[in-house]
Amino acid sequence: MTTPSSTPVPEAPTPKSGSKSTLVWMIVAGLAIVAAIGFGIWAAKSHSDLNAAESELAAQNDAAAAAAAQAEKISADNSVYVVSDEDAAKAQSEVAAAEKALSDATTAANDATSAAQDTASKLRAELDQARAERDLARAEREQARVCARGSLGTITALGNDETQDPSELETVSSDCTASVSSG
């Protein structure tokens, strides 16, 4: 059997360590928010670039449609036009350049959209993780607060009532240690 004077009294956690932890989580959450805003701005810029590429694509499609309409009109007239080899080569070169520009713009737009969606998904996951960690830290802090209050209440009761069993403090202390270390 142990005597009350030989039983070590657990020290209550200092408030400073809890406030540092809270400050760290606030900083982490703030950085995550700033990163999310930055990626949002980047996604908006990419969307603007995509719109510009789509406008250019629409203009090229309109030009191709006009050329097709003119070719259709020529076919409908059944007229014979004499076109030099140089003019035909130039037209083929322009068509090939337009098709390549269209392909490049479409690929760039698709890549930008995909990258923006991937980044947004990663940021959402990081934000959810930060929130979960923040909630866990809050729960652990609250549990420590409850344990500290219970220990102080038991110590106060022991100080006021000489007949109370000191083993109650050991029970409260071991229960708190178990609940804090299991979290």
pLDDT tens-digit profile of 124-169?
Answer: 999 999 999 999 889 888 888 887 887 777 777 777 766 666 666 6
Which letter, b or e, does each residue of 123-162 get, where b requires 16 or more Cβ atoms within 10 Å of its Cβ?
beeeeeebeeeeeebeeebeebeebeebbeebbeebeeee
Q: What is the pTM of this model?
A: 0.38
For residues 80 and 161, what is the distance between their CA atoms, to the nearest angstrom? 118
- Tell how many helices (H) and how many strands (E) occur in the chain: 3, 0
Q: Give the CB-side neighbour count of residue 165, counting CA atoms within 13 A.
A: 6
Largest Cα–Cα separation, the chain:
121
The answer to whether residue 57 scores a pLDDT higher than 60 is: yes
Beta-carbon contacts of residue 13 (< 8 Å; ≥ 6 apart): 144, 148
Is 64 exposed, middle or buried (CB count within 10 Å of its CB: 0-12, 13-18, 19+)? middle
Domain residue limits, the chain: 29-58+78-182
Beta-carbon contacts of residue 56 (< 8 Å; ≥ 6 apart): 101, 105
pLDDT attached to residue 76: 65
Arithmetic mean of pLDDT, 77-85: 70
